[in-house]
Each structure stands twice: as C-alpha cells, then as structure tokens.
Structure 1
Amino acid sequence: MEKKGFEEKEEEETRTSLFHHLVTRRKNLGDDAKIILQRLIMISRLPHDLADRTDLGAHYENLNFQLNKQHIWDHITGLLLIYPSYLLHIIESSRDILTSVLRDVKVMQQQPHRTLLEVKIVFLDHNPQRRLFQQWSYKVLGADQVIRDPAVKVLEDEDVSIETLVCSVLSTLQNLSKKLEQSKAPPGSVLDETPQLIVHQKILERLLGREELLSLQQYLDMYKSTLNISIEFGQLNPRNLFSAV
C-alpha cells in the first residue's frame, strides 16, 4: 500500500512538474509569447451556383484544427454564418491566427472555382475586453431564416453612413452574445429560436458595396506594411459597444 501511494505521488509530481515546465518555458519566451486577443469581422459574397454550403463550414473546421495544432496557446472562438448568398465570419484569436485565416481566403479566391467572391473587412477590434463567443461554430442559414426586419428599411436609405451599418452588425452580435450567455445553448440553436438575432443579409449587401471598407488584399498589404495603422473607424469606440462583463 505504501509503495502504491509513493508511485501515485511520484506520477502526480511528474505531471505537475511537466505543467510548470511548459508554463515556465512560455514565460521565458518573453513578449513574443504574449497573446493579444483580436476580433475580426469579415463578410463575403458567395457564388449563386454553390452546390453545398456545408462544405464551407467543414473547410473552416479543418482550418481551425490545423491552426490550433500550430498555435497551441491561441484559442479560436467565433461564429461563421453562411447565408444563401453571403458569408459573415467573426473570428476571435491572436493576430497570427486571424492573418492565417485571411491568407487562406486569398488561396481560396485563386482557385479555378472560387468559393468566396468579393471579400470585405467590416471591423477589427484590437485587444477587446472579452470574447463574444466561448467556442467557434458555424451555421448554414436557410432562406426562411433570413427574416424581413422592418428596422432594416431605415438602412435602405442611400445616404446611410458606414458607421450606422457597422454599428448595426456590432449591436446584433452583442445581443446574440448576451443571449448565448443566458441560454447556455449552442449558437445554432439560439439562432433557430430567435432569428431576429441574425444579422440581416441586406446589411451585408450594403456593406460589400462600400468603398470605405478594406478589401482582403488591402488588409493583407497593410499587415505587411511597417506602418502601424488602425482600421477601426475613427469615431467608433468598441469599448462602448462591447462592455466588459
């Protein structure tokens, strides 16, 4: 009995020592090892002849799996909404992860049969105070789930500002995040029960036509630039939109 207890204690100390070794090693890596959370919101137009939209979800599931193996400390959360004609992707992770996802988009666009057509960066939040999602998931939306919201009629005004359109997306995502915290259900189930929490596709259509938003190539070019340029909208303060819990 004493020998068994000694072996169990030794095994526990080994596991603990390994854990502390990994933590210590990470701390010794210095500032380069510090992960600063970023939130990226990307939209895209999908081809009308896309056969199976679930393939997009499977592609990103596999991409996240591969990225998690390469960046074991970078936790990926977010939501991919696949509309009949559009895509809305919210990604929360490190800058390296976000850039890897966008570079993958560029590769997809260079393929003979492009899955993602026009791509725009709607919003980038550097070091948000909290995550909107606890995990990453995707949802394929049916035509019946893209509801007709009377409030969207206001956004059909040709003079609507880019800030109004972006704030509409951010506020809807904030409401979805609160609902997820309350229900503890997966995002797909919550959206099935409360379709008003789905960002209206008309807003995505309007955003894709706005020149103020960076294209995929513009963002990647800016990322490679030595200049430290923020693409957050000048008068938009994400702290006011995503308050801390």
Structure 2
Amino acid sequence: MTAHTRKLNKKPFPLESLLVPQVPRGNYLHFQEEKQRLQLKKLLLDRIFLVAELTANTEKKDIAEYYDQVFQSISKRHLGESVTGLLLVYPTSILHILESSNDTLFRILLDYINHEENDTDFFIKSMKIVVVSHNIPTRLFIQWHVSVIKVPVLYLDDVTQSQSLEEVIIEFLTQTHMLAHHIFKTVKMSSKGPGDNLHQVTPELLLPEQIVKYLCKSEEFLDPKTFINMYNKPLHIILDSEVVWPAPSRF
C-alpha cells in the first residue's frame, strides 16, 4: 500500500495542471483568418481616371460645389470609404482622379448620368472613363483637391497627331502618377491643396489639354452609362463541353 500510495502521489493534482502557465500557440490558419478579418473591416478601394469637356464659361466654383454636394449626399445615405483625388480644371476640359469604394464611385457616375440625361444645361459633357484600378493597395491622395490650370499653354506640336493611342495612354498615366506623388509629398493634411498655380510650380508634370480633349473624343473609351450597363450585365459563357452536336431532340 505504501508503494502504491507513493506512485499516486507522483501524479499531479488536476487543479495543479490547470495552474501551470500555458504558452499560447497559434497556427498558420488562425493567422490567415485574423488577417482576413482585419482586412474586411474596410471596404476595398478603387481608383478611376475620368476626362470630360466643359461648357463655355464654367467656373471652378460651380464644379467644386457640384462634386462636394455629390460626395456629401452619398456619404449620408450609404456607408463607404471617403473620396480622395484630384480634379484639374482646364479652360475647356477636366481631368478627374477619384479614389473610394467601388459602390461610392459607381454612385458618382450614376449622378453624372442622371444630369446628362435630364439636365440640358449641365456643364460637364462627353465624359470618358480612361482607367479603372480595382483593389488598390494605397491611396495616391490624402484628400480631394481642385486645381485650376489658369494659363493655357501653346504647344508647337500636337502629340496626339504623331503618337499612337497606346503611347498617349502611357504618357497620360505616367504624368498623372508623377503629379500625384508630387502632391502627396508637398501638400499637408487639412490644407487647401496644391492651389491654382501648378502650371507655374510643376509645368513639366501637367498634361497638355490637347491630350485630355483627345481622350474625350476617343471611341476606344467608355462613357459612364455604357460602362455601368456593361458592369451590371450578367455574363454568360458557353463552354465547349456544353455544346452538343447534333442538338438534342425531344421524342
């Protein structure tokens, strides 16, 4: 009995085993699940590049107020990411970069479509979507800025006449991204933005207006209505394995 009792005494009491400090151990699956959970807290970000023509005598104030009202209306009715970006106002056209959630960007396009169809005096015309980037990792802008290109620049050569569409697009994206990085480095949070003197501070980073107007007239790019219709249209793909010949017949 004594030997048996000694053997029993060597076994730890259940409560003692619970009091022993346990090192938390995770696994790769838990790590991935936690990472995905944190990512889903925020909506995915998209970026869209727009160009459009302006009616005569359109003021910066009118365009800025229009988009401010659109952003506020969308934010009140729908939860989503805030809108950041840059609106360059040329004498007769605009270049607009917008960053937000997919749903917010679609609602901005829908508001334009509504004005285009129902408002004959609307000052933004012939809008085209140049590029849409889905699920962007980071924003190029910390706020939404409006900048007027006051001084029209005279160009000796029209590059759109000597370059292919692909070359024009490459120049378009290169210049806009370089300008975006410049603004990101120089403009501080809660400031008024880059101002209306970009044509003096960084003239080499500004696209000629002739490129913007060239893209507005290009048939290779979609207008917002066609883009929205194509996006919402169900996609039906017939696989080769689904095609049977001869066609089945009913008896």
**TM-score (normalizing by structure 1):** 0.70
For the 8 Å contact 1:147–1:195, the answer to whether it is kept is no
Letter in 1 for 2:76: K
For residues 76-95 of structure 1, what are the structure 2 equivalents within 5 Å? 76-95=83-102
| Structure 2 partner of 1:179 | 182
Query: Partner of 1:187: helix, strand, or coil?
Result: coil
Question: Which protein has the larger Cα radius of gyration, Structure 1 or Structure 2?
Answer: 2
| Structure 2 partner of 1:156 | 161
Query: Partner of 1:118: helix, strand, or coil?
Result: strand
| Structure 2 partner of 1:16 | none
User: Do residues 120 (structure 1) and 128 (structure 2) align?
Assistant: yes
User: Do residues 188 (structure 1) and 195 (structure 2) align?
Assistant: yes
Distance in 2, matches of 1:74 and 1:169, equals 26
For the 8 Å contact 1:108–1:115, the answer to whether it is kept is no
User: Do residues 70 (structure 1) and 71 (structure 2) align?
Assistant: no
Distance in 2, matches of 1:184 and 1:84, equals 24
Give RMSD over aligned pairs: 2.5
What is the CA-CA distance between 1:89 and the residue it aligns to?
1.1
For the 8 Å contact 2:142–2:184, the answer to whether it is kept is no
| Structure 2 partner of 1:168 | 171
For the 8 Å contact 2:147–2:196, the answer to whether it is kept is no
Query: Partner of 1:113: helix, strand, or coil?
Result: coil
Distance in 1, matches of 2:72 and 2:52, equals 22
User: Do residues 210 (structure 1) and 235 (structure 2) align?
Assistant: no
Q: 1:190 to 1:130 in 2, by over 3 A?
A: farther
Query: Partner of 2:125: helix, strand, or coil?
Result: coil
What are structure 2's unaligned runs of at least 5 residues? 1-36, 237-251
Q: 1:83 to 1:123 in 2, by over 3 A?
A: same
**TM-score (normalizing by structure 2):** 0.69
| Structure 1 partner of 2:12 | none
Query: Partner of 1:75: helix, strand, or coil?
Result: coil
What is the CA-CA distance between 1:173 and the residue it aligns to?
1.4
The counterpart of 1:103, out of the listed 84, 99, 110, is: 110
| Structure 2 partner of 1:147 | 153
Letter in 2 for 1:92: E
Distance in 1, matches of 2:173 and 2:71, equals 23
Number of aligned pairs?
194
